[in-house]
Amino acid sequence: MVDKLKSKNFNGRALVMIAYILFLLLPIYWLINMSLKQNSEIISVFSIWPKNLTFDNYRTILTDPSWYMGYINSMIYVVENVIISLIVALPAAYAFSRYRFLGDKHLFFWLLSNRMAPPAVFALPFFQLYSSIGLFDTHIAVALAHTLFNVPLAVWILEGFMRGVPKEIDETAYIDGYSFPRFFVRIFMPLIASGIGVTAFFCFMFSWVELLLSRTLTSIDAKPITAVMTRTVSAAGMDWGVLAAAGVLTIVPGALVIYFVRHYIAKGFALGRV
Amino acid sequence: MLELIGVSKKIAGITQFHKTDLAFERGTMNVLLGATLAGKTSLMRLMAGLDKPTTGKVLWQGKDVTGVRVQKRNIAMVYQQFINYPAFSVYENIASPLRLQGKSKSEIDHAVRETAEMLKLTAQLDAKPLSLSGGQQQRCALARALVKGAGLVLLDEPLANLDYKLREELRAEIPKIFEASGSIFVYATTEAEEALLLGGNTATLWEGKITQFGPTHAVYRQPLNITTARIFSNPPLNTLPVTKAGACLQFAGDQQIPCLSPTPNGQYTLGFRSHHLQLKSNKEARLAFKCRVDICEITGADTLLHLRFGDQHWTSLLEGVHPYTQQEELNLYVDPSHFYLFDAQGDLCAQPRAA
């Protein structure tokens, strides 16, 4: 009797969950579905799964430099951006968490207000500035442009994690004889390792999906994958299959990164203040 | 030898510590006794060099070290919170100050194992500090402070966060560790009992001032003022405002007791400790006070009575179990030779003959 009730209960809940998950996964499934079809099938008929399974679309992307260089370019500037953001934000967050100085609270808020402006606002000044100093169409240009948005976020998150570390640990280390840089790298950074991971994840996510600045600041040499994907209208019309395959491959890195930091993300969203 | 000369500390215009001179001799145990916020930690941070004094100088072995960075000073400190490096093993925690001093591998190994043995940490050397119990974590912090052989070891309420059993155990060990080290120990505590057990010298602190400094038992028996006596009494000091007229002390209107002290007439405060307020009268304890019971706390072998005498709150520590009920009235007796007499400024005028 009890078992029956339980299983009935379970089914009811499971049904809702399954429906919800199906609903969430539908667009992703459709993308994968499309990426495994030929263009003719995509356009002409409605099919739940590919009738003529083909991996040609993926082959195109992985062999054609104009496609795979997009991924490489994106990864280069994303990694550069994450590294720069962390290097800048770690000392800044430490200062905010440990010292009181004139206007510290205002500065802290002002940092975050940087994120309130849409990237489009900065597209024009960045474009003009980078063109005039010869940084246009380089990876570092995009990486630097993205730090404008990522450094404030990184400072904000890291400060929360650092505040959770008692100040007495710093002092004990100084008393033991640690110099500041040595203490910071050897003692302090391992303590906030999860915070650094979460911060890197948020920087990665922003930089990886950001389209407007990266497209404006690049033309050929540093063209990111998101820009490549939006320029696929050829003389033969839209190449739906290849576009879908590119979409699938763009999701993969993000999904991988989320998988590795999934335990810390909740804390990261709370900016370390859990 | 550590000397503080005219040292004071202000933060944002608020005085944390008033101008103070203090000297700790080489190889002494010094207790800073005072309630929370009395300035114990402020004073320790000045000694350590973590904070710079607003005025005055800190001398270490005759040399001015006021502005010297913490890293350059030969000190060690243990906090109330269990502060270790969570990323390192216990072994690496203890070894870290030695590694920074550039000692050789075998020397470090020898010192770490010896200190770990002394603090009963040998079995935990490979564990991470956070996987240990509170007592073991604090032992690890103590080991790290002791291993470097610092000339000045600052212990800021090191046992406050431990449970009762562990506290007793470590408290018994600290004097032994101190004897073996030969350094200056400074030990901050809120508990009078702890100061008495540690011995050495005691400085009593009240609102950022040192009210008295001297050998612990002398400070306990002969407090120079009522503040010191209050700080150094647990349960709290019993007090009674009295008026001296001739050879008598008058209180509560009509009652009086004889007083032979040659102090002038005027307002005074009488003070005596709770264990001197007893149930039975005898030849010595002959002065009776009719008190009303507020609360009766029975702790195994002892009874602590919270009493009311007139508008004074008193306590009486009695041996044995005495289950009195609330509001019960009873006579308690004091030997007048245990009385301290403080004048209107709170300074000691007459002290017990027994001391």
A-chain residue closest to B154, CA distance: A175
Task: Check which CATH number belongs to the domain holding B259 and give it.
Answer: 2.40.50.140
- Say yes or no: B111 and B212 in one domain: yes
The token pair at A48 is: 């739940």
pLDDT-based confidence at A271, cuts 50/70/90?
low
A6 pLDDT exceeds 70? no
CATH number at residue A101: 1.10.3720.10
- Flag whether residue A174 sits within 8 Å of chain B, measured between CB atoms: yes
CA nearest B70 in A: which residue? A175
Full residue range of the structural domain in which residue B9 is found:
2-229
Is residue B355 assigned to a domain? no
How far is the C-alpha of B304 from the C-alpha of B275, rounded, in Å? 9
Look at residue A25 and tell me if it is in a domain.
no
Structure tokens, A262:
């999934």
Give the nearest partner residue to A179 out of B71, B77, B85, using CB atoms: B71
Q: Give the per-residue pLDDT at B63.
A: 87
Q: Which residues of chain B have pLDDT under 50?
A: 354-355
DSSP letters of A87-151? HHHHHHHHHHHH---TTHHHHHHHHHHGGGS-HHHHHHHHHHHHHHTT-TT-HHHHHHHHHHHHH
The pLDDT > 70 percentage for chain A reads 91
Which value does ipTM take for this structure?
A: 0.81
Instruction: Tell me, yes or no, whether B185 lies in a domain.
Output: yes
Whether A190 contacts chain B with CB within 8 A? yes
Same domain? B224 vs B247: no
CATH code for the domain of B119: 3.40.50.300
- The answer to whether residues B118 and B260 belong to one domain is no
Mean pLDDT of A169-191: 92
Can you give the pLDDT at residue B37? 87
- Which is more confident, A105 or A180? A180
Chain B interface mutation, best of A175, A185, A191, A194, highest count of B Cβ atoms under 10 Å: A175
**Number of domains composing chain B:** 2
pLDDT of residue A60: 86
**Cβ B70–A171 below 8 Å, yes or no?**
yes
Residues of B in contact with A178 (CB under 8 A): 71, 96, 100
Does one domain contain both B208 and B293?
no
Contacts of A190 in chain B (CB under 8 A): 86-87
Q: What is the pLDDT of residue B355?
A: 41
At A274 the pLDDT is: 45
Give the number of domains in chain A. Answer: 1
Statement to judge: residues B136 and B194 lie in one domain = yes
Lowest mean pLDDT across A85-99, A175-189, A246-260: A246-260
What integer pLDDT is reported at residue A67 of this predicted model? 86
Residue A52 lies in a domain: no
Residues B135 and B9 in one domain: yes
pLDDT in tens, B167-201: 888 888 888 888 888 889 999 999 898 899 888 89
Question: Percentage of chain A with pLDDT > 90?
Answer: 34
Residues in CB range of A213: below 8 A, 6 or more apart? A119, A122, A123, A126, A142, A145, A146
| Residue A3: per-residue pLDDT | 54
B36 occurs within a structural domain: yes
CA distance B100 to chain A (A): 6
pTM: 0.79
If asked whether residues B242 and B217 sit together in one domain, one would say: no
Q: What is the pLDDT of residue A10?
A: 64
Residues B222 and B327 both lie in one domain: no
**Of the residues B186, B201, B229, the one at which a domain ends:** B229
- State the residue range of the domain holding A253: 63-269
| Contact (CB<8Å) A172/B71 | no
Query: In chain B, which residue's Cα lies nearest the Cα of A192?
Result: B87
pLDDT in tens, B25-54: 888 999 999 988 888 998 999 999 898 898
> Is the domain of B76 the same as that of B6?
yes
A2 lies in some domain: no
